[in-house]
Structure 1
Amino acid sequence: MKKLMIAAALATMSSPIAAAPLCDDLGFAGLLAKCNRGEDIPLTLASGQPLGEDVVLQSGAYYTLVITADGSAELAIEGPSFFRAIWMNEIVINKIEIRPMAIDSIEFDKAGVAEVSFIAIKPGSHTIRIPGSTGETQSMTISIQ
């Protein structure tokens, strides 16, 4: 029992207890400050191709999910648990900015690019997938710490 408690204490100290924004001085822009932006997250919608690599995000940081469809098939992505764990700033499609309250999925009938900019909020592990698919490469996990 004593070894278990020591191991738990060491595990707690080795990982961040609370995730914080990426920069210390957010300034006037707050969480949308340039220094608080993480790397873009690429996601590819193409018939028979992997969706993307699993990623780990930091709660309180600003990210952009770049969804690129090649037009090889009519495909969508869904991830209601992920879309409920973030604050969406905007979705940009063909240079048109949309500021939604919430979404469950995005579908592409033709080739194109959609950019979803957001702040990661709720810690947890979330799956984004192509609806109705069961293959491992047709989904990706986004973890928020």
Structure 2
Amino acid sequence: MKRTFRLAALGLAGLLAAGPALALDLTKKRQNLPDLVLGNEEGNDFVVENKDIEMEAGKAYRLRIVAKGRQEYKFYAPEFFRYIWLNQIVINHLEIHGGGPPDHLEFDDPGEIAIEFVAIKPGEYKWEARGLESKGMTGTISVK
């Protein structure tokens, strides 16, 4: 009985120790999603390219959010950010690593922000460029 318990405890400890290593390996197999583009270079600040993004739970992804317009874009997706495991946020080849989700991503000028993550919880999550919703600056991120 003691031997069985000891083997079970060792097996469980091994699985728990391997968890972070398996998660790190998962991020190396990430897929690039289509860029979500806010505005364009022709002067239409309120057009959105790829406003609806789809992915699968349990897989690693990279999503580039690109601002091409001249508006101040405040990208909010609170429920989506809450239900992903965030590996890093990359801005101008600088990496941000943190223990929790961002409140929002803000563009004061044209540029790009990439988020690398693992989708955790299936659902349909709304995103918006806060203050510009009436201009059509909204969409969905679907995790199946």
Whole-angstrom CA distance in 2 between matches of 1:99 and 1:91: 7
Q: Deviations over 1:12-62 (max 9, x none)?
A: xxxxxxxxxxxxxxx79532232xx23323111221212533122111101
Which moved further from structure 2: 70-79 or 56-65?
70-79
C-alpha spacing 1:74/1:134, structure 2 compared with 1 (3 Å): closer
Corresponding position of 1:30: 25
Q: TM-score, normalised by structure 2?
A: 0.72
> What are the equivalent positions in structure 2 for 1:32-71 lying under 5 Å apart?
32-34=27-29, 37-46=30-39, 47-50=45-48, 52-71=50-69
Identity of aligned residues (%): 35
Find the residue that maps to 1:118 and give its secondary structure: strand
Note the aligned Cα RMSD (angstroms).
Answer: 2.2
State the Cα distance separating 1:65 from its structure 2 match.
Answer: 1.1
- Structure 1, gaps ≥5 residues long: 1-26
Q: For the residues of structure 2 that align with 1:109 and 1:138, how far apart are their CA atoms? A: 16
Partner of 1:86: 84
Aligned to 1:102, the other structure's residue is in SS state coil
Secondary structure at the residue paired with 1:82?
A: helix
Counterpart amino acid of 1:130?
Answer: A
Is the 8 Å Cα contact of residues 85 and 121 (structure 1) preserved in structure 2?
yes
Distance of 1:45 and 1:56 partners within structure 2: 18
Distance 2:31 2:86 in 1: 15
Quote the Cα distance in structure 1 between the aligned partners of 2:23 and 2:105. Answer: 32
